Amino acid sequence: MVNYKGKVALVTGASSGIGEAYARELAARGSHVIVVARSKDKLEVLAKDLKASYGVNTYALVSDLSKRGAAGELAEQVKALGLKVNILINNAGFGTHGRFEEIPMDRYREMVNLNITSLMDMTAQFLPYMQQQKDGIIVNVSSFLAFYPFPYMGAYAATKAFVLSFSESLWAENRQLGIRVLALCPGATKTGFFDVVGTTDLPGGVTGTPQSVVRTAFRGLAKNRSYVVDGIGNYWTANISRFFTRKFMAAFSERLARPASKN
Protein backbone atom coordinates (compact mmCIF):
# COMPACT_ATOMS: atom_id res chain seq x y z
CA MET A 1 0.00 0.00 0.00
CA VAL A 2 1.15 3.54 -0.78
CA ASN A 3 0.71 6.03 2.06
CA TYR A 4 -0.25 9.53 0.88
CA LYS A 5 -1.40 10.99 4.19
CA GLY A 6 0.78 13.84 5.44
CA LYS A 7 3.05 13.78 2.38
CA VAL A 8 3.86 16.92 0.38
CA ALA A 9 2.87 16.67 -3.28
CA LEU A 10 3.79 19.11 -6.04
CA VAL A 11 1.61 19.11 -9.16
CA THR A 12 2.50 21.08 -12.29
CA GLY A 13 -0.08 22.16 -14.82
CA ALA A 14 -2.52 22.08 -11.92
CA SER A 15 -4.94 24.82 -12.93
CA SER A 16 -7.15 22.48 -14.98
CA GLY A 17 -7.53 19.03 -16.53
CA ILE A 18 -5.41 16.12 -15.36
CA GLY A 19 -3.29 18.30 -13.07
CA GLU A 20 -6.30 19.66 -11.23
CA ALA A 21 -7.84 16.19 -10.93
CA TYR A 22 -4.55 14.84 -9.54
CA ALA A 23 -4.29 17.65 -7.00
CA ARG A 24 -7.84 16.98 -5.83
CA GLU A 25 -7.28 13.25 -5.45
CA LEU A 26 -4.00 13.74 -3.56
CA ALA A 27 -5.70 16.18 -1.18
CA ALA A 28 -8.56 13.72 -0.70
CA ARG A 29 -5.97 11.11 0.32
CA GLY A 30 -4.46 13.45 2.90
CA SER A 31 -1.49 14.94 1.05
CA HIS A 32 -0.52 18.57 1.43
CA VAL A 33 -0.50 20.00 -2.08
CA ILE A 34 1.61 22.55 -3.95
CA VAL A 35 -0.20 23.51 -7.14
CA VAL A 36 1.85 25.05 -9.94
CA ALA A 37 0.79 26.69 -13.20
CA ARG A 38 0.84 30.04 -14.99
CA SER A 39 -2.74 30.98 -14.04
CA LYS A 40 -2.55 32.73 -10.65
CA ASP A 41 -6.29 33.26 -10.18
CA LYS A 42 -7.21 29.65 -11.00
CA LEU A 43 -4.45 28.30 -8.75
CA GLU A 44 -5.49 30.38 -5.76
CA VAL A 45 -9.13 29.34 -6.13
CA LEU A 46 -8.09 25.68 -6.36
CA ALA A 47 -5.76 25.90 -3.36
CA LYS A 48 -8.48 27.49 -1.18
CA ASP A 49 -11.01 24.88 -2.31
CA LEU A 50 -8.69 21.96 -1.51
CA LYS A 51 -7.87 23.35 1.92
CA ALA A 52 -11.53 23.94 2.75
CA SER A 53 -12.67 20.57 1.41
CA TYR A 54 -9.96 18.29 2.81
CA GLY A 55 -8.25 20.21 5.62
CA VAL A 56 -4.78 19.89 4.11
CA ASN A 57 -2.18 22.60 3.65
CA THR A 58 -2.14 24.03 0.15
CA TYR A 59 0.21 26.37 -1.68
CA ALA A 60 -0.27 28.11 -5.03
CA LEU A 61 2.96 28.89 -6.88
CA VAL A 62 2.88 30.65 -10.23
CA SER A 63 5.51 29.56 -12.73
CA ASP A 64 6.00 29.28 -16.48
CA LEU A 65 8.03 26.10 -16.58
CA SER A 66 8.84 26.51 -20.27
CA LYS A 67 11.24 29.31 -19.31
CA ARG A 68 14.91 28.57 -18.69
CA GLY A 69 15.74 28.25 -14.99
CA ALA A 70 12.08 28.07 -13.93
CA ALA A 71 12.45 24.70 -12.18
CA GLY A 72 15.32 25.97 -10.05
CA GLU A 73 13.39 29.11 -9.12
CA LEU A 74 10.38 26.99 -8.20
CA ALA A 75 12.54 24.73 -6.04
CA GLU A 76 13.80 27.82 -4.20
CA GLN A 77 10.22 28.94 -3.54
CA VAL A 78 9.40 25.51 -2.14
CA LYS A 79 12.51 25.63 0.07
CA ALA A 80 11.55 29.10 1.33
CA LEU A 81 8.21 27.67 2.44
CA GLY A 82 10.09 25.09 4.52
CA LEU A 83 8.69 22.20 2.49
CA LYS A 84 10.21 18.93 1.28
CA VAL A 85 8.52 17.32 -1.72
CA ASN A 86 7.67 13.62 -1.38
CA ILE A 87 5.46 13.35 -4.48
CA LEU A 88 6.14 15.02 -7.83
CA ILE A 89 3.55 15.07 -10.61
CA ASN A 90 5.13 16.38 -13.82
CA ASN A 91 1.96 17.14 -15.74
CA ALA A 92 2.66 20.47 -17.47
CA GLY A 93 2.89 20.19 -21.24
CA PHE A 94 1.23 20.97 -24.55
CA GLY A 95 1.08 19.72 -28.13
CA THR A 96 0.92 20.95 -31.71
CA HIS A 97 -0.93 19.71 -34.78
CA GLY A 98 -0.21 20.25 -38.46
CA ARG A 99 2.47 19.66 -41.06
CA PHE A 100 5.90 20.07 -39.53
CA GLU A 101 6.94 23.05 -41.70
CA GLU A 102 3.71 24.94 -41.00
CA ILE A 103 4.41 25.41 -37.28
CA PRO A 104 6.99 28.02 -36.16
CA MET A 105 10.21 26.68 -34.68
CA ASP A 106 9.76 28.94 -31.65
CA ARG A 107 6.59 27.01 -30.84
CA TYR A 108 8.45 23.70 -31.12
CA ARG A 109 11.24 24.99 -28.88
CA GLU A 110 8.72 26.07 -26.26
CA MET A 111 7.08 22.63 -26.41
CA VAL A 112 10.38 20.75 -26.08
CA ASN A 113 11.43 23.01 -23.21
CA LEU A 114 8.20 22.32 -21.33
CA ASN A 115 7.57 18.66 -22.23
CA ILE A 116 11.17 17.46 -21.88
CA THR A 117 13.70 19.92 -20.43
CA SER A 118 11.47 21.23 -17.64
CA LEU A 119 10.38 17.71 -16.72
CA MET A 120 14.03 16.66 -16.34
CA ASP A 121 14.86 19.84 -14.41
CA MET A 122 11.99 19.27 -12.00
CA THR A 123 13.06 15.68 -11.48
CA ALA A 124 16.66 16.76 -10.84
CA GLN A 125 15.47 19.28 -8.25
CA PHE A 126 13.32 16.94 -6.18
CA LEU A 127 14.60 13.38 -6.72
CA PRO A 128 17.70 13.68 -4.46
CA TYR A 129 15.59 14.28 -1.34
CA MET A 130 13.45 11.23 -2.17
CA GLN A 131 16.63 9.19 -2.57
CA GLN A 132 17.88 10.35 0.83
CA GLN A 133 14.57 9.39 2.42
CA LYS A 134 14.34 6.14 0.43
CA ASP A 135 10.74 7.05 -0.26
CA GLY A 136 8.97 9.06 -2.92
CA ILE A 137 6.80 9.13 -6.01
CA ILE A 138 7.37 10.70 -9.42
CA VAL A 139 4.63 10.61 -12.05
CA ASN A 140 5.57 11.89 -15.50
CA VAL A 141 2.61 12.44 -17.80
CA SER A 142 3.38 10.95 -21.21
CA SER A 143 0.83 9.83 -23.84
CA PHE A 144 -0.30 6.73 -25.68
CA LEU A 145 1.26 8.42 -28.73
CA ALA A 146 4.64 7.72 -27.11
CA PHE A 147 4.50 4.17 -28.45
CA TYR A 148 4.54 4.90 -32.19
CA PRO A 149 5.10 7.76 -34.67
CA PHE A 150 2.12 10.02 -35.19
CA PRO A 151 2.38 12.33 -38.22
CA TYR A 152 1.02 15.88 -37.93
CA MET A 153 1.76 15.61 -34.21
CA GLY A 154 5.19 14.08 -34.75
CA ALA A 155 7.22 16.43 -32.56
CA TYR A 156 4.71 16.15 -29.71
CA ALA A 157 4.64 12.34 -29.95
CA ALA A 158 8.45 12.36 -29.92
CA THR A 159 8.55 14.41 -26.71
CA LYS A 160 6.21 11.92 -25.08
CA ALA A 161 8.32 8.98 -26.30
CA PHE A 162 11.21 10.65 -24.49
CA VAL A 163 9.14 10.97 -21.32
CA LEU A 164 8.20 7.27 -21.48
CA SER A 165 11.77 6.07 -21.99
CA PHE A 166 13.19 8.47 -19.39
CA SER A 167 10.60 7.43 -16.81
CA GLU A 168 11.17 3.71 -17.33
CA SER A 169 14.91 4.23 -16.90
CA LEU A 170 14.36 6.24 -13.70
CA TRP A 171 12.05 3.50 -12.42
CA ALA A 172 14.82 0.92 -12.91
CA GLU A 173 17.50 3.11 -11.34
CA ASN A 174 15.46 3.88 -8.23
CA ARG A 175 13.27 0.82 -7.66
CA GLN A 176 15.60 -0.51 -4.94
CA LEU A 177 15.47 2.83 -3.12
CA GLY A 178 11.76 2.75 -2.34
CA ILE A 179 10.95 5.35 -5.02
CA ARG A 180 8.11 4.74 -7.46
CA VAL A 181 8.44 6.29 -10.91
CA LEU A 182 5.52 6.05 -13.31
CA ALA A 183 5.00 7.16 -16.91
CA LEU A 184 1.29 7.93 -17.14
CA CYS A 185 0.08 7.51 -20.74
CA PRO A 186 -3.42 8.89 -21.32
CA GLY A 187 -5.29 8.67 -24.57
CA ALA A 188 -7.26 11.62 -25.90
CA THR A 189 -8.73 13.16 -22.74
CA LYS A 190 -11.42 15.80 -22.26
CA THR A 191 -9.24 18.72 -21.18
CA GLY A 192 -8.15 22.10 -22.51
CA PHE A 193 -5.25 20.34 -24.27
CA PHE A 194 -7.14 20.28 -27.55
CA ASP A 195 -7.90 24.00 -27.37
CA VAL A 196 -4.14 24.49 -27.67
CA VAL A 197 -3.59 21.74 -30.23
CA GLY A 198 -6.47 22.91 -32.40
CA THR A 199 -7.86 19.47 -33.30
CA THR A 200 -9.52 16.42 -31.79
CA ASP A 201 -8.52 14.09 -34.65
CA LEU A 202 -6.94 11.29 -32.64
CA PRO A 203 -7.49 7.49 -32.73
CA GLY A 204 -10.65 6.59 -30.83
CA GLY A 205 -11.74 10.21 -30.43
CA VAL A 206 -11.66 12.24 -27.22
CA THR A 207 -13.23 9.87 -24.70
CA GLY A 208 -11.11 9.86 -21.54
CA THR A 209 -11.65 12.06 -18.50
CA PRO A 210 -9.08 13.57 -16.12
CA GLN A 211 -10.61 11.54 -13.30
CA SER A 212 -10.22 8.21 -15.13
CA VAL A 213 -6.61 9.05 -15.99
CA VAL A 214 -5.81 9.84 -12.36
CA ARG A 215 -7.48 6.66 -11.12
CA THR A 216 -5.35 4.69 -13.58
CA ALA A 217 -2.22 6.39 -12.25
CA PHE A 218 -3.00 5.50 -8.63
CA ARG A 219 -3.60 1.87 -9.61
CA GLY A 220 -0.30 1.80 -11.46
CA LEU A 221 1.57 3.24 -8.49
CA ALA A 222 -0.03 0.70 -6.15
CA LYS A 223 1.41 -2.05 -8.37
CA ASN A 224 4.76 -0.24 -8.77
CA ARG A 225 4.38 -0.21 -12.54
CA SER A 226 6.87 1.68 -14.71
CA TYR A 227 4.11 2.85 -17.06
CA VAL A 228 0.34 2.67 -17.45
CA VAL A 229 -2.01 3.45 -20.32
CA ASP A 230 -5.45 4.76 -19.42
CA GLY A 231 -8.28 2.85 -21.10
CA ILE A 232 -8.34 -0.66 -22.55
CA GLY A 233 -8.81 0.60 -26.10
CA ASN A 234 -5.90 3.00 -25.71
CA TYR A 235 -3.76 0.21 -24.27
CA TRP A 236 -4.27 -1.96 -27.34
CA THR A 237 -3.81 0.99 -29.68
CA ALA A 238 -0.52 1.79 -27.96
CA ASN A 239 0.77 -1.78 -28.04
CA ILE A 240 -0.43 -2.89 -31.48
CA SER A 241 2.75 -1.42 -32.93
CA ARG A 242 4.61 -4.46 -31.56
CA PHE A 243 3.03 -6.57 -34.28
CA PHE A 244 3.85 -4.35 -37.27
CA THR A 245 6.90 -2.68 -38.77
CA ARG A 246 7.66 0.90 -37.83
CA LYS A 247 7.26 1.87 -41.50
CA PHE A 248 3.74 0.44 -41.55
CA MET A 249 2.78 2.20 -38.32
CA ALA A 250 4.06 5.56 -39.59
CA ALA A 251 2.11 5.25 -42.85
CA PHE A 252 -1.02 3.95 -41.10
CA SER A 253 -0.90 6.73 -38.49
CA GLU A 254 -0.52 9.33 -41.23
CA ARG A 255 -3.79 8.23 -42.77
CA LEU A 256 -5.52 8.37 -39.38
CA ALA A 257 -4.13 11.80 -38.48
CA ARG A 258 -4.29 13.50 -41.88
CA PRO A 259 -6.24 16.78 -41.60
CA ALA A 260 -9.50 16.80 -43.52
CA SER A 261 -8.18 19.49 -45.86
CA LYS A 262 -5.35 17.16 -46.90
CA ASN A 263 -7.56 14.17 -47.77
Catalytic residues: 156
Answer whether 86's CB lies under 8 Å from 133's CB. yes
Q: Where are the beta strands (DSSP E) in 106-210?
A: 136-141, 179-185
∠ Cα 159 137 9 (to 5°): 95
Q: Where are the beta strands (DSSP E) in the chain?
A: 8-12, 32-37, 58-62, 87-90, 136-141, 179-185, 227-229
Residue type, 252: F
DSSP state of 39: -
Q: How many Å apart are CA 32 and CA 51, to the nearest integer?
A: 9
Distances (CA, A) of 163 to 28, 100, 126, 144, 147: 27, 21, 17, 11, 11
Answer whether 135's CB lies under 8 Å from 87's CB. no
Q: How many Å apart are CA 46 and CA 27, to the nearest integer?
A: 11
**Under 8 Å CB-to-CB from 28, ≥6 apart: which residues?**
53, 54
